[in-house]
Amino acid sequence: MSQSNTAPTPPSAPQPALIVLAGATGALGLLIAHQLRRRGAAVRALVRPESSHKAEAESLRLQGVEVVSVDFSNAPALTAACTGASCVVSALSGLRETIVDAQSRLLDAAVAAGVPRFIPSDFSADFTRLPEGSNRNFDLRREFQRRLDQAPIQATSVLNGMFTDLLTGQAPLIQPGIRRIVYWGDADQPLDFTTMVDTASFTAAAALDSTTPRYLRIAGEVASIQGLRTIASNALGHEFKLLRVGSLDFLANMIRLTRTLMPARNEVFPPWQGMQYMHNMLTGQAKLSEPLDNARYPDIRWTPVQQVLAGLK
């Protein structure tokens, strides 16, 4: 039998999955890109032309992310940019022109390019059961959700409650200066908190998992206002007390008044929007239903609220 002198071709290494990421220059998007690279994915970031020279875009390139400058209103270019992806992840943030309009164009492009899966930019408390009008930003998400659920693509939303990171600044609940936990309504209502890094890590794992359901619900920690009092006291080494400002109806009236006096219609997070978020959480209407999906990717270690609050020391 004659022997071939041709060396056997080594089996070619499997190509890493390609994830297309929109909003990659944003706070959460940068973290998702990093976590995707950590998990070995090839990442293509779709960046608006005016942002493709920003420091964030450069930092993406340094991490091995393919940065594609694309005009979101150019459908053929957006479709070409989505081609080959196993999942399109959106971490866009904005109002109607972004959450409904730009995200819909991205969705159309993903479908046209034959991408099988889409993760929308939800990353929030559970807005699915909230009444229309109770939170402007959630109304926009539900409007996009209706389009997404009609589209021939597998969709997965990641719902994570409030970013724990906000407890050290933007969210007014913890007031270290006066050593108070400020709240409205019931101090025993459970609230969901997840750090941005943990949300990004979970989202990256979900983007690479072709078996995800329509919704994934995660909470790094579930804590009531009473629970936050203990956690803040332990984290900062002195006793916090509760300060109940009033009922949830009182908060609703404050929201209406603030919105009338300071409408700031073009801001994504004006003060009344943050207050709407607090109202949705404190009523329990936006509480994530159990069981949570925290254990889906066992390598993820959830950051406790106390660890984040320790940063206030």
Q: Which residue ranges make up the site for ligand NAP (CB under 6 A)? A: 23, 25-29, 48, 51, 72, 91-94, 97-98, 102, 121, 123-124, 160, 162-163, 166
Q: Closer to ligand NAP at the Cβ: 102 or 292? A: 102
* Residue 34 CB, nearest approach to ligand NAP (Å): 13
* Residue 97 CB, nearest approach to ligand NAP (Å): 6
Which segments of the chain does DSSP mark as H helices, in order?
A: 27-38, 55-62, 75-82, 96, 103-112, 136-150, 196-207, 225-236, 248-261, 271-282, 305-309
Q: Closer to ligand NAP at the Cβ: 215 or 233? A: 215
For strand 191-194 and strand 162-163, is the pairing parallel, antiparallel, or unpaired? parallel
* Residue 27 CB, nearest approach to ligand NAP (Å): 4
Q: Closer to ligand NAP at the Cβ: 136 or 179? A: 136
Residue 237 is encoded by which pair of tokens? 């080494």
Q: Closer to ligand NAP at the Cβ: 100 or 181? A: 100
Q: Closer to ligand NAP at the Cβ: 103 or 212? A: 103
* Residue 308 CB, nearest approach to ligand NAP (Å): 13
* Residue 52 CB, nearest approach to ligand NAP (Å): 8
For strand 241-246 and strand 180-184, is the pairing parallel, antiparallel, or unpaired? parallel
- For residue 225, which of 249, 205, 204, 244 has the smallest C-alpha distance? 244
In the block, residue with structure tokens 């022997």: 3
* Residue 171 CB, nearest approach to ligand NAP (Å): 8
In the block, residue with structure tokens 């209406």: 256
H/E stretch holding 215 reads strand 215-217
* Residue 4 CB, nearest approach to ligand NAP (Å): 54
Q: Give the nearest residue (CB) to ligand NAP.
A: 26
In the block, residue with structure tokens 């619900």: 217
Q: Closer to ligand NAP at the Cβ: 138 or 240? A: 138
**CB distance 181 to 238 below 8 Å:** no
Sign of the dihedral through C-alpha 32, 36, 38, 42: negative
Cis peptide upstream of residue 213 (ω within 30 degrees of 0):
no
- Please report, for residues 230, 258, 291, the alpha-carbon distance to residue 28 in angstroms, rounded to integers and kept in the order given: 29, 28, 25
CA angle 61, 63, 69 (to 5 degrees): 25
Q: Closer to ligand NAP at the Cβ: 72 or 184? A: 72
Cα-Cα end-to-end distance for the chain:
78
